[in-house]
Structure 1
Amino acid sequence: MKINMKKIFFFCAAFLLFHGGFINAQEDAEQSSSGAEEAARARQVAEETRLATIKYGTETEIAALIQNLKDEGADYLDDELVVLAEKTRNQKILSGVFAFFGEREKSGLEERAMRAISERDTEMGETVLSAVDYLGKVKARQALPVLKELLDSEERRFMNTAFRALGRAGGDEERDETCEYLVDYYTNGEPGDENRRDILIAVGETRSSAGVEFLAGIAGDSDQRLPLRMAALESLAKIGDDEGLEAILEAVTADDPNLRASAVAALGPFSGENVDLAILEAFRDSFYRTRLAAAQASRERRLEVAVPYLKFRAERDDVPQVKDEAIRALGAIANHEANEIINALFTERKNSDRVRLVAAEALMKNEPGQYLDQLIIELDEAKKKNQNPLYNGFLKILGESRDGGIEAVTRRLMTSGGIIEMSYALDMAANNNLTSLSEEIKKLAENKNESIARKARRTMEKLGIE
């Protein structure tokens, strides 16, 4: 029998190739499984460390944990922080927890905050101030009696914060009563000059028409101090009752430029030919704050007749803040003419990074589908030219965008970008419900960078990816 050596050689080579490939594949699978297990263990250790920090950590360690939670936008430890706040009297810990919850207007600490006020003789002053501020931010109706008691005690160190909190606290049913209490305190009490402005701001926060006549009187009284008149104008705008409009229009032509600026800014909630004319005339004011206020009022009103004025300011004003606000006002108006102006500001590469970024943000809020491709072109151009601030700014805008056509660039940033690109890509996936990128997101959940891995896991949870 004749042996075919060529066939035997081929068979052996094929066997070794297959066997070797099988072994390599098996090793890869084992390594992948091992990597996933290590990542899971690391996550578990990290979460256990956070829980231990809440239970046993110093004020500095807990402050660092709260900052990390803020950066991550995480709320999964809220219940544990509530328990911590109930048990501790540490001023820095309590202030940090009250601030963390207050910034998110998150309820859950009302009883502890009211207890801090009632037992203020045994609490640190900063703890009481943080508690008062928190109750205002969460609009705690049940705290109204406690806040009034604090003000009636006339303890000066708490008064300005308490006035502002009282104005925000409660709802529609209590606002007239709260407003009347504040007006009476201003008129018949002894708040001191240092607290009068805070009372005027608080009256506006109540949104009660019961305070309009009082505020209009302050705004129109030339014998009153300028900060008080400006505060009264701001509060008239917050209330938005037409009964206060006459006092605002009178202040628009005041000699003092700061009073004029406050009056123009206060026109935003109102309407009518006189209001429109006053806003347009304010664009000619040599004081930049008045021009800024005109742009803000145009933005609030979505005032289409202001588009040519806003174009002029966005292109030529020598104050960057005025340019910014003019672009944002055009974005709020968002008609065809306004969008064309913004697009021209965005695509003109000779413009400052600041102008281009504000313009890009406005476009992506209004018409993301129409301007997404151009934003990607400009993003790549900025990267090619090493324009890092511009590149990172465009990435941030992409991260906040909501558009059905964003999947391709999201995948690209996830798979070929750095830490910054991956972070914004996860935002894009979450904002646009891109479950089609589940495999890419799962890989990021095992990333060596724990910040990216944690963010990817939160994205998976939000999108329902298992």
Structure 2
Amino acid sequence: MCTDGCKRLQRGRGSRGLSRVVLVALLVFLGLVPVTVRAEEPEGAVEPTLAEETEGAAEPTLIDGWREVLMFGLDNEVIELLSVLRDQRERRLFPEIAELFDQSVNPRLRQRVLEFFTTMEYPDGEPAALVVLEAYREVPTDLLLAAIRYVSLVVTHPQEETRAALREVAEGTQITAAETAIRALGRRGGEEEIGPLVQRLSDRRAPSPIRAAVILALGDLRATEAVDELLRIAGDTVEESTTRQFAADSLGRIGDEQAIPLLMELAVGSDTMLRAYAVNALGAFRDDEVERIIVNSLRDSFWRVRVAALEAVARHDMDSAIPVVQFRAQRDPEPRVRTEAIRSLAQMSDPRARTFLHELVLGERNPEAMRITALQRLADNDWRATVPLFEQIVETEHGKPQSRMLDQVGRIISTSDEAVPHAIYERFLDHPNFIMQIYGIRAAGRHGISALRERVSKMTDAPHHQAVRRAATDALERM
């Protein structure tokens, strides 16, 4: 069953209202200050001002600075830089990072590179992952797991050499690596994987994690050959509860209608976690009685069941459930359920769902965290329909000294590949807070808005903040 950045600006005294700690954190997020700071200073040293810390001789462009860290930086500096590049969704340095992986002998650094490739969905990292997989007996477990997960999550059609290496790891004695490799074979393997996995499923002496991984892999492979055994496992009260939960999940993934009666029975049973898995599995089937159980599960006393029901409602695009989903978004006692309700509404096609979320975002008396969540989910699901919300937020929040909503708009537009109307970029560029200016600069550069080139070029010199000047120089390279 599926489950799925910068902290709030602190209010403070003075016209700018930003504490030094928060400011440094924001700048690290934006990639505009060094990723390491001194742990100690001489006793009695005078703390430099922010201007003294950031002003100075002309520096290389931001991308050049990052490239130098990749080429010459300490391993821990490179690891921290990878986090910055990940947060920035920075894709221009893939070749340098791939070369760094080939040259490095530091397992932790190589692990972080593969994790970066996974998060960024870098398509050409299979050779790097294969190097690790073929040396699975010698490499640290964390590095091996990073390689397996990269293949599992990013490589749509692995080479036969990669699949063969995964099979070897899956047969190994390292339980965590073996179960992760089995899951990868389920996601990226073909029909040739089904027979051996069904055979392993019948081995009741296998460790529980291995058996669970086999069950889930068969679900990913939509293996109808496993339905009878999965039905037996899911309905057998002697089996471990976790094993039964995974069997129910895989029955839903396979989608064989033979499973509906048992899943409906489990969805109203006494085992709370098994109820949640069964409700989630029922979301794969279209049936009036199934939908009735899903809607009733929105009132279940166990919050995970309600989350599973909300996921199923979104999958079915169940218009009839919108009123109760709206209620869950506003009134559910569990924050995770409220968040899932907002996510579900953002995925639904009924205009009532979008109207509700738009009103939630624009309602200044609504909890700020809910407004931010709703705005992010709307942007994820329908960018074009969310742009008018951006415009209204910019208009109403621009004059406020601190605004989390405006900050969220800045984060979204500066990390998305989708463009916005020019007026939005300009309002951020004109904002008195230099962090907001940087959001506008980064967005304009990311989207290649050449019409703003002259405007941004004026921000590369004094009296603009050094961080603004560096961001502007970098943005001009993209325009």
**TM-score, structure 2 as length reference:** 0.75
RCO comparison, higher one (Cα < 8 Å, 6+): 2
Say if 2:167 and 2:185, in contact at 8 Å, map to a contact too.
Answer: yes
Say if 2:89 and 2:120, in contact at 8 Å, map to a contact too.
Answer: no
Q: Does 1:117 align with 2:136?
A: no
Equivalent residue of 2:90, what SS? coil
Match of 1:84 in 2: 100
Select between 89-98 and 149-158 the one with higher mean Cα deviation: 149-158
Compared CA separation, residues 425 and 233, structure 1 to 2 (3 A) = farther
In structure 2, distance between residues paired with 1:99 and 1:236: 31
Say if 2:283 and 2:313, in contact at 8 Å, map to a contact too.
Answer: yes
In structure 2, distance between residues paired with 1:47 and 1:346: 35
Match of 2:88 in 1: 72
Q: Which amino acid aligns with 1:323?
A: R
Match of 1:329 in 2: 344
Compared CA separation, residues 72 and 243, structure 1 to 2 (3 A) = same
Candidates 161, 165, 169, aligned match of 2:180: 161
In structure 2, distance between residues paired with 1:219 and 1:456: 58
Larger Rg: 1
Match of 1:299 in 2: 314
Displacement of 1:145 in angstroms is 0.8
Candidates 72, 85, 102, aligned match of 2:118: 102
Candidates 188, 192, 199, aligned match of 2:203: 188
Equivalent residue of 2:236, what SS? coil
Compared CA separation, residues 360 and 62, structure 1 to 2 (3 A) = closer
In structure 1, distance between residues paired with 2:475 and 2:296: 49
- Gaps (5+ residues) in structure 1? 1-37
Equivalent residue of 2:60, what SS? helix
Q: Which amino acid aligns with 2:288?
A: E
Q: Which amino acid aligns with 1:335?
A: D
Candidates 222, 244, 250, aligned match of 2:265: 250
Say if 1:253 and 1:260, in contact at 8 Å, map to a contact too.
Answer: yes
Q: Which amino acid aligns with 1:130?
A: A
Say if 1:368 and 1:403, in contact at 8 Å, map to a contact too.
Answer: no
Say if 2:185 and 2:193, in contact at 8 Å, map to a contact too.
Answer: yes
Candidates 287, 292, 295, aligned match of 1:277: 292
Compared CA separation, residues 106 and 266, structure 1 to 2 (3 A) = same
Q: Does 1:42 align with 2:64?
A: no
Higher helix share: 1
Displacement of 1:305 in angstroms is 0.6
1:75-115, CA deviations, whole angstroms, 9 ceiling, x for partnerless residues? 33322332332233321121122211122232434334333
Say if 1:369 and 1:403, in contact at 8 Å, map to a contact too.
Answer: no
Displacement of 1:449 in angstroms is 5.8
Match of 1:62 in 2: 78
Compared CA separation, residues 291 and 129, structure 1 to 2 (3 A) = closer
Q: Does 1:128 align with 2:144?
A: yes
Displacement of 1:306 in angstroms is 0.5
Q: Which amino acid aligns with 2:182?
A: F
Compared CA separation, residues 212 and 411, structure 1 to 2 (3 A) = farther
Compared CA separation, residues 438 and 244, structure 1 to 2 (3 A) = farther
Say if 2:175 and 2:209, in contact at 8 Å, map to a contact too.
Answer: no
1:204-225, CA deviations, whole angstroms, 9 ceiling, x for partnerless residues? 3334444444433332322221
Q: Which amino acid aligns with 1:276?
A: E
Displacement of 1:39 in angstroms is 11
Match of 2:25 in 1: none
In structure 2, distance between residues paired with 1:226 and 1:116: 35
Say if 2:170 and 2:179, in contact at 8 Å, map to a contact too.
Answer: no
Displacement of 1:40 in angstroms is 11
In structure 1, distance between residues paired with 2:93 and 2:443: 25
Aligned-residue CA RMSD (Å): 3.4
Equivalent residue of 1:266, what SS? helix
Candidates 218, 228, 234, aligned match of 1:203: 218
Displacement of 1:258 in angstroms is 1.6
Match of 2:305 in 1: 290
